Amino acid sequence: MSDACKTCGQSEGCNEESCSAAPEVKHNIKNIIAVMSGKGGVGKSSVTGLLAVALRDKGFKVGIMDADITGPSIPRLFGLKSGQLKTGSRGILPAKTKSEIEVISLNLLLPNEDEPVIWRGPVIMGVINQFWTEVEWGDLDYLLVDLPPGTGDVPITVLQTLPLNGVIIVTTPQSLVSMIVKKAIKMAGKMNVPVIGIIDNYAYIECPECKEKINLFGNNNTEEMAGKMGIPILGQLPLDPKLVEFCDQGQIDEYFLQKGSGIKEVISNVADAVRQ
């Protein structure tokens, strides 16, 4: 029995092969990459948004599935509002950002973006399945899946049911975070999903006057952890107050395109690594 059947009210005694309710995937996506972390608050969604813009800037067709059902933030980063979704001939049409990135998120379906989602695991997993089977993604070069933190129901569902090319792990340079991130790396390994690499976020802050790099969390533990796990570090991103400002204004794509952004260079290199 598939995960789709587990959330169907008519699954008892059903022959899955002949079931009229069985979903049919109607899109052609070349690469699917999940962005995950064992811990929340590490900037996973902003990394997902920046990577999507970087790939789009290189000429690829890109989509984002916001799989963080109870804490969706992708629409806010791109300035997308509820009510922008439309229905096509074969399912829901994703919303499009100013840079033509396709986005599906529960916050685009809620009447208010601050409306809480108080659902149990089976219902949430059903929504993830619908985001995959009932959305007209069409032809995409890359679909990025922004996962919630941890190793719970949603990451399990995505890693088991979507044909992932790999996962990118987002972390910050703290011993506590490194310990929890190891759980996510080991989870991917147990599910035979390759880890493309690690992005070390909030690695430092740059002094606006002297350009000195200041390590906010002291000694960086990410390199040691990555070395022991045998996972490459794709890049180290600074904490940039300008990025926070642009994200709050729903202009993450404009932030990436501005000149003089150190983050742009790093994320562009990550996009190149993803393509290899």
Q: Which helix (H) or strand (E) holds 244?
A: helix 241-248
Is residue 229 in a domain?
yes
Residue 186 has pLDDT above 50, yes or no: yes
Is residue 10 in a domain?
no
Strands 233-236 and 86-87: unpaired
Residues 91-133: tens digit of each pLDDT: 899 999 999 999 999 999 888 888 888 888 899 999 999 999 9
CA distance 250 to 213: 27
Residue 17: its pLDDT value, please? 47
Is residue 69 in a domain?
yes
Residue 166 has pLDDT above 60, yes or no: yes
Residue 26: its pLDDT value, please? 60
* CATH classification at residue 101: 3.40.50.300
Mean pLDDT for the chain overall:
87
**Cα–Cα nearest to 146, from 54, 73, 58, 76:** 73
pTM recorded for the entire structure: 0.88
Residues 188-227: tens digit of each pLDDT: 999 999 999 999 999 988 887 888 888 887 777 888 888 8
Tell me how many domains the chain contains. Answer: 1
Is residue 5 in a domain?
no
**Cα–Cα nearest to 145, from 186, 188, 181, 176:** 188
Is residue 147 in a domain?
yes
Min mean pLDDT across 63-67, 258-262, 265-269 is at 258-262
CA distance 157 to 130: 12
Question: How many residues comprise the chain?
Answer: 276
> The domain containing residue 269 runs over which residues?
24-275
Residues 137-155: tens digit of each pLDDT: 989 999 999 999 988 899 9
Helices (H), 61-199: 74-78, 121-133, 153-161, 175-190
Cα–Cα distance list, 186 to 42, 144, 148, 169, 183 (Å)? 18, 20, 16, 11, 5
Contacts of 76 (CB under 8 A, 6+ apart): 107, 113, 247, 250
Is residue 47 in a domain?
yes
Is residue 2 in a domain?
no
Q: Where are the beta strands (DSSP E) in 37-181?
A: 62-66, 86-87, 92-93, 95-96, 102-104, 139-146, 166-171
Is residue 91 in a domain?
yes
Residues 15-54: tens digit of each pLDDT: 544 444 444 556 789 999 999 988 888 999 999 999 999 9
